[in-house]
Amino acid sequence: MSELRTVYDWFARSAAAHSDVTALEVGTAHLTYGELHDLVERLAARLVAAAGGSPPRRVGLLAARSVTAYAGYLAVLRAGAAVVPLSPEYPAARTAQIVTAAGLDLVLAESTDSALDLGVSVLVADPGELAALAGTPSPEMPYRQAGPDDLAYVIFTSGSTGTPKGVPITHRNICAYLELVAGRYDIGPGCRLSQTFELTFDGSVHDLFVAWAGGGTLVVPERSQLLSPVKTVNSLRLTHWFSVPALISFASLLGTLVPGSMPTLRWSIFGGEPLTLRAAREWRHAAPNSRLEVLYGPTELTISCTAYRLPDDMTNWPRTPNGTAPIGSSYPVLDLLLLDEEGRQGHSGELCVRGPLRFSGYLDPAHNAGRFLTDDLQPAGDGPPPEQYWYRTGDRVAVQDGHLVHLGRTDHQVKIRGHRIELGEIEAALRGQPEVRDAVVVTLPAADGELELQAAVSGSGCTTDRLFAALGDQLPPYMLPRRITVLEQLPLNANGKVDRRALLAELGDSG
């Protein structure tokens, strides 16, 4: 293939070159590149037929950790449409909200149980349907040919206003990303790469297409296996691992991170939240043959925009003010700058980025306001941001010894086990309950040292059981607070605003 114009082209190139190599392992299902390619062709034809014979524009993918999920992802792209991942674990109301916001033409689901009344056509492709497809003649259908500026996928992230924000990523964005990272990790036939992230998290796109770009095998653990990383690495014979750092905590609590316990690993990559140097050392001792790398980047910058590779010799590892590994330096195709609170450039402040990995603005342009700066560093409006505009990440970083160190956020957005969460979205859901006067959500350390969500509300007649039930109907599981505390009055500071510091102390004392 002379030119890789779409993300699907990266898979198709490997399918042509490595037809007999295993491309996908999900439980007992093992598909070679040739078998997966043929299944994708047939499933793409079914998608086009289900859309009325015309190629769909955007397709929801309501599937997780199944052959349907991964063959479906490729089939949507093969049909020339954009993938909009939906989670079977999300409440029906949230899924319906995303279906409407994304303007879906069709939903591909892995079971009839998940085929809810979503207001659009639903194509169910369960294991029986996939088996039946395998025996059908290879279709010859005119597919829509996606171009570099067409959407490849849309990820919905938590929104501060209580509405999920759609982040559209084009084929040009993701192809530029793969050009940068696909060759970094020595991937070829025989390499076995983990797929730890859910498809609703953009780290999954790295998992899928970095593996398939090099002819490696994408190995999908069951969700329960992720709680025992060392056992999973060994039982699945993984050579490459990519996850949030929180999974190191699980392995540490199990006492399994003993020296040399993961001999098959050659690369270990962590992203989605800060990696502490202490956790990195534990993992490195357990995987002595593995190189360690940190990736950083918001969804809006196509998975990652900086990288830091820890030195092979641990005596040369850096020391940082907060004990976390640096996030490194930006990819060479990107421009970045740091702005202090006065809007001046310096060596610390909010990270702003522009370049070919930057998305072209939110699906709902109203969310663009406040997120972009013009080329002369003035606030931009909510219109489509030109290429030269800077994206404001909301992350505070500083330069230390030539590398960036992540220092926190400029707002109330947090990362909980890799999930990006706007505390304001949970607060808005709580305030929407009739008996709640006000609500605040904070983060506190859990027993394993990782952050967890806790909420405090004020109001008459509030009961935690009813509030938990109401949140469960609106929010995905990862956004539910571990505890909701009902107070007669939230603590206020001298200016009459909620005193978050006092509230943190009160919740921490009562935990």
Residues 6+ apart with CB under 8 A from 400: 318, 320, 321, 326
Q: Which fold has domain 413-510?
A: GMP Synthetase; Chain A, domain 3 (3.30.300)
Q: In the predicted model, is pLDDT for residue 387 greater than 60?
A: yes
Give the mean model confidence (pLDDT) for residues 300-326.
94
Nearest to 152 by CA among 200, 201, 208, 81: 81
| Pairwise pLDDT comparison (101 vs 437), residue with the higher score | 101
115: confidence class by pLDDT, cuts 50, 70, 90:
low
Q: What is the mean pLDDT of residues 166-175?
A: 98
Supply the pLDDT for residue 163.
75
Could you state, in order of their start, the residue ranges of all structural domains in the chain? 334-409, 413-510
Greater confidence (1 vs 402) lies with 402
Looking at residue 342, its pLDDT comes to: 84
210-233 residue pLDDT tens: 999 999 999 999 999 998 999 999
For residue 2, pLDDT over 50 is answered with: no
Examine the pLDDT at 495 and tell me if it is beyond 50.
no
CATH fold for the domain made of 334-409: Luciferase; domain 3 (2.30.38)
The DSSP call for residue 289 is T
Token pair listed for 367: 């969310």
Q: What is the pLDDT of residue 58?
A: 98
Question: Cα 263 vs. chain centroid, distance in angstroms?
Answer: 28
| DSSP for residue 225 | G
Query: pLDDT by residue (tens digit) across 13-61?
Result: 999 999 999 999 999 999 999 999 999 999 999 999 999 888 899 999 9
| Average of per-residue pLDDT across 160-185 | 91
pLDDT (tens digit per residue) in 389-444: 999 999 989 999 999 999 887 877 788 877 878 787 888 788 888 888 778 888 88
From residue 334, give the alpha-carbon distance in Å to each of 78, 84, 85, 391.
29, 26, 27, 11
The reported pLDDT for the residue numbered 185 is: 97
pLDDT tens digits for range 263-282: 999 999 999 888 889 889 99
Judge whether residue 67 has pLDDT over 60. Answer: yes
* Non-local CB neighbours of 119 within 8 Å, separated by 6+ positions: 96, 99, 100
Q: Choose the weakest-confidence range: 13-17, 192-196, 455-459.
A: 455-459
Q: What integer is the mean pLDDT of 149-154?
A: 98
Angle at 269 (CA atoms; ends 422, 425), nearest 5 degrees: 5
What is the structure's pLDDT at 389? 97
